[in-house]
Structure 1
Amino acid sequence: MHTVPHPTPAGEARPVSPRLLRAAPPPAPPFAGSGGGAPARPSAPGRPPLGSGRTARLAFVAVTLALPPWTTEAGPTAPGPVPVEVFAEIDGAMPTGVAATPDGRLFLTWPKWGDGAPFTLGELVDGRPRAWPSAEANAWDPAAPSAALLSVQSAVADAAGRLWALDTGAPGFQAPIQGAAKLVAYDLASGEAVRTIPFGPEALLPTSYVNDLRIDLGAGPEGTIYITDSSLTGPGGIIVVDIASGTAIRRLSGHASTAPEPDFSMAFDGEPLQVRPAGAPPQPWRVASDGIALSADGKTLYWCALTSRRLYSAPTALLRDPGVGEVELAAAVRDLGPKPPSDGLAEDDRGRVYAGDLEGNAIHVRDPDGAWRLLARDPRMRWPDTLSVGPDGWLYVTANQLDRQAGFHEGRDLRQPPYRVLRMKIDAGPVLRD
């Protein structure tokens, strides 16, 4: 991830009209625009269930091509086979993470990238984000760096009724602050912080930026957490945390699978995406291991660098075993072949892996046989960031226009709020390992 401080108003969501899963949506014309949905309407009182939202139907397009399924040759506005719905529209600060929880709630994260977000972890209630678990929990104090949240990149729910917040401790991509870079587990029912695990130098480097996580409560005495380090200037890697002891080990640090691809390039609106400071020559943008997914049986971890077009995997048993050396572990890494450049990954309980397509405004799915297929494409899916599978059989994704930030455009912020939480029906559930 990369940003240049560019203050904007604090985040506020535009609520969408709730519609229950059992209600059949009325017909709608094929989507033909290039952004912006129908005007938002006030939501019904109370927290809308994950099965609610306004439907924006896309035309079904059946296409058979001898090209890779993530090709953008048909154009990034060509719809995919699964309709896309707008679940929430958010003004102000740009969100990154989304977490659908087993109890039917939705959480978002706002890392401190200069947008002036009033909190870094929030829940969508009545279609609007509210600080969660409280404003106080989001009010970081340098005198007590582990006591409150500073800059949360991602959050993921586990099978024990907890929400784990991944605090980078690195606002503005500075070096992680000791004590501020941490994992915090909150009880979803009470909002109480029930566990805090700060990261030490054995896990984080001065260049580290912890990005996303997956949780397996069935691996180890109390479970294991896998985290990607998506450093912009140093080596990537996988951080493996033993929940019982709180110890963390760094794996595959600087390995080719966690590193940006050499000479990688992707383009938006006909222009290569590069760091373009005002008055200075453009520079390559390189982001290490970012997206992460866990197989339904917990035996395989998947990951990808953001500036890469390949997917990798390794056995989780080897990743979490400190007795396995790096040479042995590296030999077990599998290159699973090409895919579109992705920010986030996700998984479902049917053994499938989902990947965003940054250039194509799309989501693709990898079936258990290893074959990729297009799931959905929508021009409103500008920069599909984080993906999360809900208990209602929908895949949720934040679309936040990250490529339009000022740092990529000589100081001009080209983002056009609202940012969106989109969703598409997948008829599968989340992977909740217990």
Structure 2
Amino acid sequence: MKNMIIVILGLLGLTAQPVWSGDVKPYEILKKLDVAPGNITVTVDGRIIFSQHQFYQPDYSVVELTKEGSVVPFPNLQLNARSKENQGLHLDSALGIRSDSRGIVWMLDNGMRSNVVPKLVAWDTRLNKLHQVIELPIPVSVKGSFVNDFAIDEQRQRIYIADPANGKNAAFIVVDLNTKSARRVLQGHSSVVPEPIYLKVEGQQVAIKNDDGTLIKPLIGVNPITLDHNNEWLYYGAMSGTSLYRIKAQELANLKAQDSELASHVERYSEKPLCDGITIDQANNIYLGELAANAIGVISPDRQYKHLAESKELAWVDSFSFGAGRELFAVVNQLHRSAVLNAGEKTAKPPFLILKMNALNESVPGH
């Protein structure tokens, strides 16, 4: 299997050279879960908070792993109540989640379970109260939008959202946290739309079953996204793509810049495997989950790709978050075995996983 993966990566121009070798796993299983996680974040106070993936129809959208090891609704039960009786603010289908240096947890609710307007919901964990709500209505979002992952630019008071939409309409959404306004940029640009590369995991074609019974092989646009520690470069790419791109954050943050101007600042940075969420450390190592290989890998500052870990346990590594120092957390959610991506048949079985490992260099909590 390992030789086969190396051959496949070679065909893609990637090198699967392991950083760690031997029988000792470079990660530990921090928590086994009954419900599949989505994205994960760690606050400056060390609280571990994660979304539960909407593809599995969870009771609660966002939860916290307590120090005692239990999983409880975050920030409270009321905000997670999706009943028709709850007419107030609540989370419908939050997936993307990040925390900032002030202990504010930002939750990106795509609204797709109930077909409601997407929104950003920010909760102040230090004051234990709602900090901000920013809605993302049309035309900021579009028909088919799936606002998912994002990066926080505290220096410029911006949030950059990756919206893979329906592929051809993939784009960034740039949110101004000062004015609570947002705009859609680079829609349809070659760096955000998918390449015609279909994902197979464990030998099985990822497929979506339509209401009429027909199957489609999804091509997914921009999804992986992360901002470096100098707030200089935003790295991103299509999930269905073998290229990682970057653009200077100061350019993307410019609310007056036209798409043609922004496009001129896009750089192809490196090759990458098909992946979901990514993160970056202070030395500019970029971490990702290689979906087709059940692996965790890294793109080093020399722009070369290497495996950090490879195991059957790593069945769809979805997202990452740093804790203190070199602590790196990741979630495993078997998304290719969900009914949504497995032609209508759910074969995923608990346990789903939260992993913890030592990164190659340090970062800051929540990154």
TM-score norm. by structure 1 comes to 0.75
User: Is the CA contact 1:230–1:289 (under 8 Å) kept in the aligned structure 2?
Assistant: yes
Which residue of the partner structure matches residue 362 of structure 2?
A: 429
| Pair 1:381 & 2:314 matched | yes
Which residue of the partner structure matches residue 401 of structure 1?
A: 334
Partner Cα separation in structure 1 for residue 246 and residue 275 of structure 2: 15
Distance 1:392 1:431, change over 3 A: closer
Which residue of the partner structure matches residue 318 of structure 1?
A: 251
Partner Cα separation in structure 1 for residue 23 and residue 152 of structure 2: 31
| Pair 1:137 & 2:74 matched | no
Which residue of the partner structure matches residue 243 of structure 1?
A: 177
Deviation for aligned residue 1:257: 1.0
Distance 1:144 1:118, change over 3 A: closer
Distance 1:408 1:212, change over 3 A: closer
Q: Deviations over 1:15-57 (max 9, x none)?
A: xxxxxxxxxxxxxxxxxxx9xxxxxxxxxxxxxxxxxxxxxxx
User: Is the CA contact 1:218–1:433 (under 8 Å) kept in the aligned structure 2?
Assistant: no
Alignment of 1:46-65 (within 5 A): none
Greater share of strand residues, 1 or 2?
2
Partner-residue secondary structure (3-state), 1:97: strand
User: Is the CA contact 1:344–1:385 (under 8 Å) kept in the aligned structure 2?
Assistant: yes
Distance 1:241 1:415, change over 3 A: same
| Pair 1:227 & 2:164 matched | no
Q: Deviations over 1:144-164 (max 9, x none)?
A: 877221110121010112111
Distance 1:138 1:249, change over 3 A: same
Deviation for aligned residue 1:327: 0.8
Letter in 2 for 1:109: S
User: Is the CA contact 1:81–1:374 (under 8 Å) kept in the aligned structure 2?
Assistant: no
Partner-residue secondary structure (3-state), 1:171: coil
Letter in 2 for 1:121: V
User: Is the CA contact 2:167–2:194 (under 8 Å) kept in the aligned structure 1?
Assistant: no
**Which of 119, 126, 130 is 1:189 aligned to?**
126
Partner Cα separation in structure 2 for residue 185 and residue 269 of structure 1: 37
User: Is the CA contact 2:119–2:136 (under 8 Å) kept in the aligned structure 1?
Assistant: yes
The CA RMSD over aligned residues, in Å, is: 2.9
Which residue of the partner structure matches residue 279 of structure 2?
A: 346
Which residue of the partner structure matches residue 169 of structure 1?
A: 111
Which residue of the partner structure matches residue 189 of structure 2?
A: 255
Letter in 2 for 1:237: A
Partner Cα separation in structure 1 for residue 354 and residue 306 of structure 2: 22
Which residue of the partner structure matches residue 32 of structure 2?
A: 89
Q: Deviations over 1:305-337 (max 9, x none)?
A: 111121111111111112221111112111223
Partner Cα separation in structure 1 for residue 126 and residue 339 of structure 2: 39
Partner-residue secondary structure (3-state), 2:223: strand
Which residue of the partner structure matches residue 40 of structure 2?
A: 98
**Which of 59, 70, 77 is 1:118 aligned to?**
59
Distance 1:159 1:87, change over 3 A: same
Deviates more, 1:80-89 or 1:237-246: 80-89
Partner Cα separation in structure 1 for residue 207 and residue 315 of structure 2: 17
Partner-residue secondary structure (3-state), 2:348: coil
Distance 1:80 1:154, change over 3 A: farther
Deviation for aligned residue 1:270: 2.2
Partner Cα separation in structure 2 for residue 294 and residue 80 of structure 1: 33
Deviation for aligned residue 1:428: 3.1
**Which of 289, 293, 314 is 1:360 aligned to?**
293
Distance 1:142 1:418, change over 3 A: same
Unmatched tracts of structure 2, length 5 or more: none
User: Is the CA contact 1:109–1:120 (under 8 Å) kept in the aligned structure 2?
Assistant: yes
Partner Cα separation in structure 2 for residue 276 and residue 205 of structure 1: 22
Deviation for aligned residue 1:95: 1.5
Partner Cα separation in structure 2 for residue 364 and residue 245 of structure 1: 38
Distance 1:84 1:69, change over 3 A: farther
| Pair 1:333 & 2:266 matched | yes
Partner Cα separation in structure 1 for residue 167 and residue 306 of structure 2: 33
Q: Deviations over 1:227-285 (max 9, x none)?
A: 110224651111111111111111111111111112x1222232332224698443221
Partner-residue secondary structure (3-state), 2:79: helix
Partner Cα separation in structure 2 for residue 278 and residue 148 of structure 1: 28
User: Is the CA contact 1:131–1:138 (under 8 Å) kept in the aligned structure 2?
Assistant: yes
Distance 1:159 1:325, change over 3 A: same
Distance 1:140 1:404, change over 3 A: closer
Partner-residue secondary structure (3-state), 1:381: coil
TM-score norm. by structure 2 comes to 0.88
**Which of 132, 140, 151 is 1:203 aligned to?**
140
Matched residue count: 357
User: Is the CA contact 1:100–1:389 (under 8 Å) kept in the aligned structure 2?
Assistant: yes
Alignment of 1:12-23 (within 5 A): none
Distance 1:141 1:147, change over 3 A: farther
Q: Deviations over 1:40-88 (max 9, x none)?
A: xxxxxxxxxxxxxxxxxxxxxxx9xx9455549x9xxx97986121011
Q: Rg: which structure is higher?
A: 1
